[in-house]
């Protein structure tokens, strides 16, 4: 809807639909355009807008020169504005975006051009001339008066012929070709033939893309011009996204909702792919999108915008019968007023709504002006905590900008100022009071006293995350208004080297004014030098760029960073660089090999140099690209680079390859030539439509690449027992050994359970199924690409769901919930959401023990006053309404005394262990340090459980145990107990002593079940006295009276123990017996020769592998391990006869390990296969 303003500036716009969110744009020739987004049309009455002030335009001057300094008469100057195609009824920004010409002019005989009355805003100023390279710069028009003159130097231009074709080789109607580098881009008009000629390109790397009629970028890549003269963009099959938009509360379809797809990719001059449609009466939609990955966005009047991540290989994309469900929540409103301290409205104030994005964070919506009476209405709120930010020139909001959400038990707590709780299904209201702020003004100068125009000045208080900022005028002047009072304020200039403080820190009282400041910006670090050829002469056409990183780690963003040309004498200077960071200098010149030079971190104002860079002659790399039958492949794109250092793998070794830069295109004979590379090891990569990419390293001057056609793996997912198809599950195929670095792929099962994964290389693949919460996990299968279909039988899994509540019935967020079968460790874990809900699964059918731990019970957290864990012992899989209630704990106080009743400073710590079967989980064990008087305190202890207190630390031999403690009563007394010692011997079958065996004593409770109290020792080895040749430690006093093979277990409590001799890595089998620490001794172990398991691990691995043998009965003390030799063979010794499970990994962790067996010991010829990265 459009209308014109009256003579007095007033206007009236009729025909607005009720309850719709609209965006209003007000513009006038020569004045700044004002946009008012997110305005909700009321159900009754009028939508009244505040008074709008349009700023005046400014004058822009530019001069265009040739590299020799001569003017370029007739050059075209354009001011480009980033605009969007539309509009739709609301959210017009969902449409594709483009660049339109705001104004233009021609350079006169002196190369100068003037563009009058340019409105305030942010633009691109572009200069072009026939036969010359186009150049552009960002232009920010603010304030009043003339802007500083902008100078362009246009060198010789290059051309690039571009073809744009669809998947069937036909031209794409309405498409355009665009090339971009730095801040510059050129674009061709649509061509019915699909052939385009891009002119005015700068020699070097440019980004080329196809621009669809919607304004979306698709296809393309980085190309080196003029080395590459022809480039083809092949667009894949249209990506169809179908689904339904529903009301999250009622489940009914939402008619007329706008559904947009925002694709990923592109670069800052080319927008990501966008496509838009409206939902039908039942909420259904079908959307053709130009790119594969991105976000689906849905918006409708009265609803909050929703976003969902979409990937081409996910079920909703691959299976038309599995539509994407988009749920929209009803939009709520926050109303209020913005006033001064005397209750008067503040003209020109604006407000923003901020709500939580997750624990500890929030996002701000668009800025909306308040009405003339100071009132505002902000739609789009969700139930829960919210804040409103108010701003006005010369005013500041108390509590802001340091108003950051802080997480506490899953909720966001904002400061009182500007915060409000939005009720479910209702509205929230608040008034905001702003205070008059201070003012700081002055002039920014360089070290020579010259004004620095166009620089960003920041004023920041300690701890602020949102400082005030302003750009200096051409004469260097600046004014900062609306400053909060504070101490130690920082005034800094922002440059490429970061923030540089320009003044000593100062204090600013409330409402204070500091004017006429002369601020001198300290110089930033810089480097200078010269670029020469191998003969010591200046390298013509040399360019340099500076990047952060090291020669082995930096990432070159390609055309997004501008190159700086060297002078005629090869000299260069780079200023305002990053201080205290490693830098990389990249130097290029025509006909010369690229140079990469590491620059050590610079000082704050250091001027390093002169650096001398010598460029070696380039050594062209020639090659050919053919298919599997040896036929040439024309039009293949070639990427190439040199190896960074010896030992790099081809997939990450080439310097230019990872950024996708195309350095050459094969001709009709499939041949290519790549320049700009130094002699030595190089890497080349070839890609072509319909073929798999191929990468090869080359030491010589020629290379041959064979591209393979892609294979596929397909199959059916079905339910075990019934044979019914299982739809909607993701299937992944990963190449196994010998894949040559080729990627795997993903697919999804359709309604008939069938899946198909395409784009795979030849050879064996590991196929895995992401079973989700409804099906039990299945082991990966091995399948040859392009052979037989794969049948996967899935067993249905069950969930246990419910909520965790406190004593008052309120939800407990961020609590940890676990489930495990009776007598076993928990196998499933989950964390509660903000409403206390959780879901555990998938689980096998059966009964489970479910426990909940509040977030304060995580390691290192303060548990004072926190709820205590709770558990339910017998829960059936499939239950959906389990309620776990956490109650407040009580205090357990105590005091440590010796046998005489006195407390001593023994630096003792006390451990609190729950009584129960087996060793308690580490997060249930609590420890504290006793005070000097021996007192200690455990806060938040569960009164419904029995506990053991154990003394730990202090001097040798000091300990004590108090079993069955009930918290909440009188303080307990824990008596120091010197404990008792248990002696013993470890002998072999013939009675000879065995040295170096680890002996462990684990305490048993009254039921004979192990608890967490244990002691360790090692049987004595022969002692070799110290000598001058081989110095060795002096024999300890404890071992002087012991014989070889003897051990002493100390600090044992006066109860029964299970004693285990660990023999891992030896020929002996583990030995176990039970004994009482008060029975005297000595105890004697007779070791027997253990069984062996011998075999081989198949596959390849980059790091050392270990293999572990665990008894099938789960006895952890009987685990034996060995290293896997380079040829894959292994020998496990000292196993107890019987079945064992084998586990292979890089370490002792079970995460990422592969498990095999069981195998009966002894055995030989066992073979297992290791998959790199399995389970990770």
Q: In this predicted model, what pLDDT tens digit does every residue of 1043-1052 receive, in sequence order?
A: 778 887 776 6
Q: Residue written as tokens 């003159």?
A: 149
Bridge partners, 223 (sequence order) = 206, 662
Comparing 456 with 38, the larger pLDDT belongs to 456
Across 105-109, 424-428, 924-928, the highest mean pLDDT is recorded for 105-109
Pairing type for strands 411-413 and 406-408 reads: antiparallel
Instruction: Please report which residue ranges of 603-689 form alpha helices under DSSP H.
Output: 650-653
Phi and psi angles of residue 311, each rounded to the nearest 5 degrees, phi first: -130, 145
Residues 521 and 447: their CA atoms lie apart, in Å, by: 7
Residue 396: CB atoms within 10 Å: 22
Is the bond preceding residue 1135 a cis peptide, omega within 30 degrees? no
Q: What are the phi and psi torsion angles at 315 (to 5°)?
A: -60, -40
Average of per-residue pLDDT across 1098-1118: 78
pLDDT per residue as tens digits for the range 48-100: 776 677 766 778 899 999 988 899 999 999 998 775 433 333 333 333 446 77
% pLDDT > 70, the chain: 77
Fold of the 1091-1169 domain: Immunoglobulin-like (2.60.40)
Element (H, E) at 317: helix 315-318
Q: Name the nearest CA neighbour of 64 among 55, 53, 76.
A: 76
| CATH of the domain spanning 890-975, picked from 3.30.420.40, 3.40.640.10, 2.60.260.20, 2.60.40.1120 | 2.60.40.1120
Cα distance between residue 906 and residue 896, in whole Å:
10
Cα distance between residue 708 and residue 429, in whole Å: 65
Question: Dihedrals φ, ψ of 677, to 5°?
Answer: -115, 145
Residue 432's contacts (CB-CB under 8 Å, 6 or more residues apart) are: 336, 337, 338, 339, 351, 388, 390, 397, 417, 418
* Domain definitions of the chain by residue range: 1-55, 239-328, 336-434, 438-520, 526-606, 621-660+670-706, 711-776, 798-885, 890-975, 980-1086, 1091-1169
In 3D space, the residue among 510, 370, 537 whose CA is nearest the CA of residue 439 turns out to be 510
Average pLDDT estimate for 318-325: 58
- Residue with the bigger pLDDT between 122 and 652: it is 122
Q: Are 622 and 702 in contact (CB under 8 A)?
A: yes
**pLDDT at res. 263:** 62
Q: Which fold has domain 621-660+670-706?
A: Immunoglobulin-like (2.60.40)
Q: What angle do CA 129, 130, 134 make, to 5 degrees?
A: 45
Architecture of domain 526-606: Sandwich (2.60)
Determine the pLDDT at residue 113.
94
CATH architecture classification, 336-434: Sandwich (2.60)
The span from the CA of 255 to the CA of 21, in Å, is: 16
Give the CA count within 13 Å in the CB-facing half-sphere of 1003.
Answer: 24
| 234 exposure class (CB count in 10 Å sphere: 0-12, 13-18, 19+) | middle
pTM: 0.57
What's the pLDDT at 551? 56
Query: Which of these, 604, 607, 600, lies nearest to 582 by C-alpha position?
Result: 600
Q: How many residues does the chain have?
A: 1176
State both tokens at 386: 């919210």
In this structure, whether the domain defined by 239-328 belongs to CATH 1.10.10.370 is answered with no
Whether the pLDDT of residue 890 is over 60: the answer is: yes
- Give the span between the Cα atoms of 519 and 449, in whole angstroms: 10
Contact yes or no for 1053/1013 (Cβ under 8 A): yes
- Give one word for 91, left, alpha or beta, with left for phi > 0 and alpha for psi -120 to 50: left
Overall fold of domain 980-1086: Immunoglobulin-like (2.60.40)
* pLDDT of 788 above 80: no
Same topology between domain 798-885 and domain 980-1086: yes
Per-residue confidence band for 216, with pLDDT thresholds at 50, 70 and 90: low
Per-residue confidence (pLDDT) for residue 404, from 0 to 100: 39
Structure-model confidence comparison of residues 305 and 1129, the more confident one: 1129
CATH label, 798-885, candidates 3.30.470.10, 3.40.47.10, 2.60.40.10, 3.40.50.1220: 2.60.40.10
* Residue 881 vs residue 22, higher pLDDT: 881
Which class is domain 438-520? mainly beta
The pLDDT score that the predictor gives to residue 933 is: 81
Nearest of 153, 157, 211, 205 to residue 181 by alpha carbon: 205
Q: What pLDDT score does 652 carry? A: 33
What is the pLDDT at residue 41? 77
Answer for the pair 278, 258: CB distance below 8 angstroms, yes or no: yes
Highest mean pLDDT, choosing among 265-274, 622-631, 1057-1066: 622-631
By the 8 A CB rule, do 1016 and 1061 touch?
Answer: no
Q: What is the mean pLDDT of residues 952-974?
A: 69
Closest CA to 201 of 159, 152, 161, 153: 159
* Contacts with 700 (C-beta within 8 Å, 6 or more apart), sequence order: none
Cβ–Cβ under 8 Å, residues 467 and 542: no
Tens of pLDDT along 554-604?
A: 555 555 566 788 998 999 998 877 666 778 888 888 888 888 788 888 887
Q: Is 300 in contact with 257 (CB distance < 8 Å)?
A: yes
Q: Which of 162-176, 364-378, 660-674, 918-932 has the lowest mean pLDDT?
A: 918-932
Q: Has residue 1032 got a pLDDT over 50?
A: no
1037's enclosing H/E stretch is: helix 1037-1040
Strand partners, 500: 493
Closest-CA residue to 602 (of 761, 495, 442) = 495
pLDDT exceeds 80 at position 265: no
Comparing 966 with 1021, which gets the higher pLDDT? Answer: 966
- Who contacts 824 (Cβ-Cβ below 8 Å, separation ≥6)? none
Distance CA 620, CA 630 (A): 24
How high is the mean pLDDT of the chain?
77
Q: 711-776, what's its fold?
A: Immunoglobulin-like (2.60.40)
pLDDT at position 200 is: 93
Q: Is the dihedral of CA 537, 539, 545, 549 positive or negative?
A: negative
Report how far residue 186's alpha carbon sits from residue 99's, in angstroms, rounded to the nearest whole number: 11
Q: Which residue has the higher pLDDT, 1157 or 91?
A: 1157
Asked if 769 and 790 count as a contact pair (C-beta separation under 8 A), the reply is no
């Amino acid at each position: 809807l459009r209308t014109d303003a009256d003579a007095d500036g007033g206007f009236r716009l009729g025909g607005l639909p009720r309850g719709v969110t609209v965006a209003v744009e007000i513009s006038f020739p020569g004045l700044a355009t004002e946009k008012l987004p997110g305005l909700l049309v009321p159900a009754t009455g009028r939508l009244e807008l505040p008074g709008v002030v349009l700023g005046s335009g400014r004058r822009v001057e530019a001069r265009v020169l040739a590299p020799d300094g001569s003017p370029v008469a007739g050059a075209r100057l354009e001011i480009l504005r980033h605009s969007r195609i539309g509009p739709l009824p609301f959210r017009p920004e969902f449409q594709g975006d483009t660049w339109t010409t705001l104004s233009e002019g021609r350079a006169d005989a002196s190369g100068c051009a003037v563009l009058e009355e340019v409105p305030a805003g942010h633009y691109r100023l572009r200069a072009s001339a026939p036969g010359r390279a186009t150049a552009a710069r960002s232009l920010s028009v603010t304030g009043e008066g003339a802007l500083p003159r902008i100078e362009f130097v246009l060198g010789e231009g290059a051309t690039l012929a571009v073809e744009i074709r669809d998947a069937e080789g036909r031209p794409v109607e309405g498409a355009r070709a665009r090339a971009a580098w730095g801040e510059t881009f050129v674009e061709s008009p649509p061509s019915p033939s699909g052939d385009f000629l891009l002119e005015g390109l700068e020699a070097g790397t440019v980004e080329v893309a196809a621009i669809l009629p919607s304004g979306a970028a698709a296809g393309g890549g980085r190309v080196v011009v003029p080395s590459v003269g022809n480039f083809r963009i092949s667009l894949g099959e249209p990506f169809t996204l179908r689904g339904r938009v529903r009301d999250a509360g009622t489940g009914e379809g939402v008619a007329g909702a706008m559904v947009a797809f925002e694709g990923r990719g592109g670069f800052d001059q080319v927008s990501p792919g966008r496509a838009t449609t409206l939902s039908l009466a039942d909420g259904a939609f079908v959307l053709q999108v130009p790119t594969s990955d991105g976000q689906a966005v849905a918006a409708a009047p009265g609803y909050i915008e929703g976003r969902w991540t979409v990937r081409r290989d996910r079920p909703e994309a691959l299976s038309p019968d599995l539509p994407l469900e988009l749920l929209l929540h009803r939009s709520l409103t926050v109303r209020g007023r913005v006033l001064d301290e005397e209750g008067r409205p503040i003209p020109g104030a604006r407000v923003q709504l901020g709500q939580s994005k997750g624990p500890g964070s929030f996002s701000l919506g668009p800025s909306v002006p308040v009405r003339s009476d100071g009132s505002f209405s902000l739609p789009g709120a969700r139930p829960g905590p919210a804040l409103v930010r108010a701003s006005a020139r010369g005013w500041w909001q108390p509590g802001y900008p340091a108003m950051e959400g802080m997480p506490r038990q899953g909720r966001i707590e904002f400061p009182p100022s500007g915060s409000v709780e939005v009720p479910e299904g209702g509205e929230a209201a608040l008034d905001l009071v702003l205070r008059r702020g201070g003012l700081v003004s002055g002039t920014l100068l360089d070290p020579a006293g010259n004004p620095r125009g166009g620089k960003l000045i920041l004023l920041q208080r300690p701890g602020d995350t949102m400082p005030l900022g302003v750009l200096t005028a051409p004469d260097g002047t600046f004014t900062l208004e609306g400053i909060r009072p504070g101490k130690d304020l920082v005034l800094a200039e922002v440059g490429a080297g970061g923030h540089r403080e320009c003044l000593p820190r100062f204090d600013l009282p409330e409402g204070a004014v500091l004017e006429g400041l002369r601020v001198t910006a300290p110089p930033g670090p810089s480097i200078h030098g010269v670029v020469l050829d191998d003969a010591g002469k200046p390298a013509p056409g040399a360019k340099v760029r500076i990047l952060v990183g090291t020669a082995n780690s930096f990432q070159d963003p390609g055309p997004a960073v501008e190159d700086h040309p060297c002078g005629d004498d090869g000299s260069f200077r780079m200023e305002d660089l990053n201080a205290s960071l490693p830098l990389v200098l990249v130097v290029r010149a025509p006909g010369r090999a690229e140079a990469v030079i590491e620059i050590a971190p610079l000082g704050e104002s250091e001027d390093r140099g002169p650096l001398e860079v010598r460029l070696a002659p380039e050594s062209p790399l020639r090659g050919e690209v053919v298919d599997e039958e040896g036929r040439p492949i024309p039009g293949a794109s070639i990427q190439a680079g040199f190896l960074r250092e010896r030992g790099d793998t081809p997939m990450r070794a080439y310097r230019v390859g990872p950024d996708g830069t195309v350095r050459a295109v094969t001709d009709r004979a499939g041949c290519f030539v790549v320049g700009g590379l130094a002699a030595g090891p190089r890497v080349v990569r070839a890609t072509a439509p319909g073929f798999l990419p191929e990468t090869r390293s080359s030491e010589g001057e020629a290379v041959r690449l064979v591209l393979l056609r892609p294979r596929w793996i397909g199959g059916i997912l079905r339910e075990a027992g019934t044979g019914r198809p299982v739809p909607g599950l993701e299937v992944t195929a990963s190449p196994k050994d010998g894949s040559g670095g080729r990627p795997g792929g993903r697919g999804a099962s359709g309604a008939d359970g069938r899946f198909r994964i395409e784009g795979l290389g030849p050879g064996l693949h590991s196929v895995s199924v992401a079973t989700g919460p409804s099906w039990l996990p299945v082991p990966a299968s091995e399948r040859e690409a392009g052979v037989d279909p794969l049948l996967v039988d899935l067993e249905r899994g069950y969930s246990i769901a419910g909520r965790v509540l406190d004593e008052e019935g309120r939800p407990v967020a961020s609590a940890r919930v676990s489930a495990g079968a009776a007598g076993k460790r928990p196998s499933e874990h989950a964390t509660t959401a903000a409403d206390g809900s959780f879901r555990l699964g998938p689980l096998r059918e059966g009964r489970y023990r479910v426990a909940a731990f509040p977030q304060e019970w995580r390691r290192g957290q303060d548990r004072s006053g926190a709820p205590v864990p709770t558990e339910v012992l017998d829960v059936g899989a499939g239950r959906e309404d389990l309620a776990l209630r956490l109650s407040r704990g009580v205090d357990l106080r105590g005091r440590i005394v010796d046998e005489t009743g006195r407390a001593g400073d023994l630096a003792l710590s006390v451990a609190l262990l729950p009584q129960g079967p087996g060793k308690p989980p580490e997060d249930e064990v609590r420890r504290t340090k006793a005070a000097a008087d021996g007192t200690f305190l455990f806060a938040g202890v569960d009164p419904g459980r029995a506990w053991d207190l154990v003394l730990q630390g202090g001097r040798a031999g000091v300990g004590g145990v108090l079993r069955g403690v009930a918290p909440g009563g009188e303080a307990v007394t824990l008596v120091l107990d010197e404990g008792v010692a248990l002696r013993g011997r470890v002998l072999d079958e013939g009675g000879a002593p065995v040295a170096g065996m680890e002996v462990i004593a684990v305490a048993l409770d009254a039921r004979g079940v192990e608890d967490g109290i244990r002691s360790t020792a090692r049987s004595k080895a022969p002692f070799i006295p110290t000598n001058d040749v081989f110095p060795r430690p002096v024999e300890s006093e404890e071992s002087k009276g012991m014989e070889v093979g003897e051990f002493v277990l100390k600090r044992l409590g006066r109860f029964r123990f299970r004693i285990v001799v660990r023999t891992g890595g030896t020929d002996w089998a583990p030995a176990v017996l039970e004994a009482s620490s008060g029975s005297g001794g000595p105890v004697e172990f007779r070791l027997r020769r253990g069984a062996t398991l011998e075999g081989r691990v198949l596959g390849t691995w980059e790091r050392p592998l270990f293999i572990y043998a665990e008894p099938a009965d789960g006895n952890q003390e009987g685990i034996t391990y060995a290293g896997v030799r380079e040829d894959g063979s292994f020998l496990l010794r000292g196993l107890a006869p019987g079945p064992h499970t084998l586990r292979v990994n890089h370490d002792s962790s079970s995460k990422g390990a592969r498990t095999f067996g069981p195998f009966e010991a002894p055995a030989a010829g066992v073979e297992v296969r290791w998959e790199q990265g399995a389970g990770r």
